[in-house]
Structure 1
Amino acid sequence: MKIAFFSTQPYDRLFFERENTAGKFNYQFYETHLGPHIVRAVERVDAVCVFVNDKVNREVIAVLAEKGVRLIALRCAGFNNVDLAAAKEYGISVCRVPAYSPEAVAEHTVAMLLTLNRKTHKAYNRVREQNFSLNGLLGFNLHGRTVGVVGTGKIGKAFCRIMRGFGCRLLAFDLYQDDELVQEGLHYVPLDELYREADILSLHCPLTEDNKHMLNKQSLGRMKDGVIVLNTSRGGLIDTVAVIEALKSRKLGGLAIDVYEQEEKIFFRDLSNTVIEDDTLQRLMSFPNVLITAHQAFFTDEALGQIARTTLANVEKNLQQQVREGDPAFLL
């Protein structure tokens, strides 16, 4: 089974090669993201394996079908970057990794919240310079604060349970309620009520056409002054321009993001000797109460191992099923 990997980093090679000890798979690795600029280089593979910033639109899918590709395997949970209707039309199966390590993302979200609140990143730099002053490092207790969670799937559920350990009051919005969380003390409320009540708002939902820019000028205006916003899901959930205005007006007390709407040409690259031309991101990074990591929340040994195992199992199962039935099967 031949697989072409796109957006490949050294750790992708390491973990996928580690899981191929039986030699069932033949790999081709591309550092570039998959898109119209590179898709015609795909030759004689059964599947393409893509990540969050690959652009698998109708144009790309048409070429993949022409090249005989039978499967698009996402090594991530989100699939908003794949035109599913086009894939079905061209007879290409699609699979993903819906639950590789929800704890990894949830724990990173909490780490960002603690860092932003208690300013440990600034304290670390101060002490390194022999500055032991506490001025400007004041935070607040998480205990007793109201945490609003949008999306209580596996990651949101793990985040809720961690925050419950801090003694927080938990509110959530989701189209489908989790009975276990309700029994544990979580209260589901309408989205407007969650906006009004939350001291801390954390996004753990997939990006869809319906919720793109769900945090915009109007929704931000309905929130408490000084609310902390966390996003480790998808950058498109936030209208960055509106968030910048909310930071300037002090409506937002802080922002911690591991994703960015225009991250495709920036994240997963070393740009330390490059002029970044994204003025919006540069403005965002200029705020002292903004914390940004580069799509790192998933990045644990356990998560990468599970991603590799699940992706390869999906590829093997799907391709074998196609051979048996002569028909592609969607495994989303």
Structure 2
Amino acid sequence: MQFGVYGLKPEEKVFFDAWAQNNGVTMNYHTAGLNGQSPADFAGDDAIVALQTVPYPPAAIEAMAAAGVKYMALRNVGMDNVPFPTLAAKGIQLANVPAYSPQSIAEFAVSLTLQLVRNFGYVIQAISAHQYTEAMQRTGKELGTMTIGVIGTGRIGASAVKLFKGFGSKVIAYDPYPNPALKDEVEYVDDLADLWPRVDVIDLHIPGTKENTHLIGAAEIAQMKDGVYIVNTARGNLIDTQALLAGLASDKVAGAGIDTFEFESDVFPQWEKNEEPTNALYEQLLADPRVIMTPHIAYHTETAVENMVEVSLGNAKAFVETGHAPNEVDVQKLAQA
């Protein structure tokens, strides 16, 4: 049995090697993601195990099918970059990792919030310029005095709720499917219009579906409190970047923590080469000390990486041995969505 591993990161390899040895599976490693491969590149592979945040090109999926590969196992949960119509047309089955470490992303979201409300961007900027008195005069806020709006209360959102509650924050939440485990922890609202004007911080934990694109735009920001903070560790398309910049320019938005950027596919190739991103909107955000930008790393802990590798490999092995996987998704249904 052989798996083609794409988008391999250095920190993953120790977990891949250990699993391969324990399970007698050969790994065909590729540091590059799926993009521009030919059928020959997949020769001998029984399944593809992939991880990337940029879109999976339909041509790569077609090349997999031409090589006889029937199974694909993602090492993450998000599938908004997957061309489901192509998978369905080529009869390729897919599995993901529904939960590799909700705590890792929730902790990162809370850490971004703490840095924002304590003016870390300004403090670091002042210290770097040896303006220590300016840094000492920056007055922050305490989370225990603030109301947090958590949008999406699945595994990650629920973890974030518990962390914010630990700081003494009041939490108002929105989710089309409220989490029963949180009924005594949060106040749910039925409409986001009831959340925007009541919260000091907005923390996003929902999928980047087409319906959720620009969930936060100019109209939504106008409804928010003056001096609101916005944190996005979910998907870049949830926020209209132009509207966010306008909100920052008017001081309607006091700060933003952006781990997932709307035009990530534009800047990701430059991130991989350690080059300065040339996207003008990214550069504007990066230059603002009220904004903390990170390169899609909220998930990135040792626990998460190990779980992503082991669960995805378990899915791939089950596919090859039985034709189905524990975390298989309905490709045909998703292709019609």
Give yes or no for TM over 0.5: yes
Q: Distance in 2 between matches of 1:203 and 1:195?
A: 12
Q: 1:331 aligns with which of 303, 307, 328?
A: 328
Provide the residue aligned with 1:77 in structure 2.
Answer: 77
Number of the residue aligned with 1:162: 163
Unaligned stretches of 5+ residues in structure 2: 330-337
- Scaled by the length of structure 1, the TM-score of the pair is 0.90
Counterpart amino acid of residue 111 in structure 1: S
Matched, 1:29 2:29: yes
For residues 213-260 of structure 1, give each alpha carbon's deviation from its aligned partner in whole angstroms, at most 9, with x where no partner exists. 111112222211111000001111111111111111111110001111
Amino acid at match of 2:311: T
- AA of the residue aligned to 1:38: Q
8 Å CA contact retained: 2:258, 2:292: yes
Which residue does the alignment assign to 1:300?
Answer: 301
Instruction: In structure 2, give the amino acid aligned to 1:105.
Output: I
Structure 1 position 55 matched with structure 2 position 69: no
SS at match of 1:171: strand
Contact 2:54 2:264 in 1 (8 A): no
* Equivalences for residues 190-229 of structure 1 within 5 A: 190-229=191-230
Asked whether the 8 Å contact 1:7–1:54 carries over to 2, the reply is no
Distance 1:229 1:26 in 2: 44
User: 1:115–1:54: structure 2 CA closer, same or farther, 3 Å change rule?
Assistant: same
Work out whether residues 44 and 68 of structure 1, in 8 Å CA contact, stay in contact via their aligned partners in 2. Answer: no
CA distance in 2, matches of 1:162, 1:143: 11
Q: Residue in 2 aligned with 1:38?
A: 37
Relative contact order (alpha carbons < 8 A, sep ≥ 6): 1 or 2 greater? Answer: 2
Distance in 2 separating the partners of 1:164 and 1:262: 32
Q: Which stretch shifts more, 7-16 or 201-210? A: 7-16
Q: Contact 1:93 / 1:330 at 8 angstroms: preserved in 2?
A: no
Distance 1:67 1:265 in 2: 30
SS of the aligned residue for 2:195 comes to helix
Percent sequence identity is: 28
* One-letter identity of the residue aligned with 1:168: S
Partner of 2:317: 316
TM-score (norm 2): 0.89
The code of the aligned residue for 2:250 comes to: S
Q: Can you give the 5+ residue segments of structure 1 that lack an aligned partner in the other structure? A: none
Give the Å deviation of 1:59. 3.3
Give how far 1:275 is off: 4.5
Q: In 2, distance between residues paired with 1:64 and 1:9?
A: 22
How do residues 239-250 of structure 1 correspond to structure 2 at under 5 angstroms?
A: 239-250=240-251
The Cα offsets for residues 170-192 of structure 1, whole Å up to 9 and x where unpaired, read as 11111111111012244333111
Secondary structure at the aligned position of 2:257 is classed as strand
May I ask how many residue pairs the two structures share in their alignment? 326
